[in-house]
Amino acid sequence: MANATVTRMDLADAIYQEVGLSRSESADLVDMVLDEVMAALAQGETVKISSFGSFSVRAKKQRIGRNPKTGEEVPILPRKVLVFKASHVLKDYLVGKSKAK
């Protein structure tokens, strides 16, 4: 258990087990779910998954950074970053207060 990592393959396997589609369909559908989330975010939409959490895109302004090795100042260009906020249901689930739906 210690450092197990769950991957797309494990998610596909869960769909294969629980929905009863073929393995390759299950794998494609995992990719599609993630792709729809990414497409929405790329459009600037917030993605809210109830009892899990929300993903939102935040615009960062340009600021001056510094190369820590050379001390040289370099501009950090304006960019967009993704912020994930876990829902209370998920947080409580990790603390063991409740069960996920």
Partner 1 sequence: MLERGNAMTKSELILRLAQRNPELYQRDAEKIVDVVFEEIAQALSRGERVELRGFGAFSVKDRKPRIGRNPRTGTSVSVPGKRVPFFKTGKFLRDRLNGKV
Report the C-alpha gap between 89 and 95 in whole angstroms.
Answer: 10
Kindly state the smallest distance separating residue 37's Cβ from partner 1, in Å: 7
Contacts of 49 (CB under 8 A, 6+ apart): 87
Nearest residue to 11 via CA among 27, 32, 33, 24: 27
In the chain, the amino acid numbered 5 is: T
Applying CB under 8 A, among 23, 48, 66, 88 the residue interacting with partner 1 is: 48
10 lies in the binding site for partner 1 (CB under 8 A): yes
Positions that interact with partner 1 (CB under 8 A): 1, 3-8, 10-11, 14-15, 18-19, 21, 29-30, 32-34, 36-38, 40-50, 52-59, 79-82, 84, 86, 90-91, 93-96, 100-101
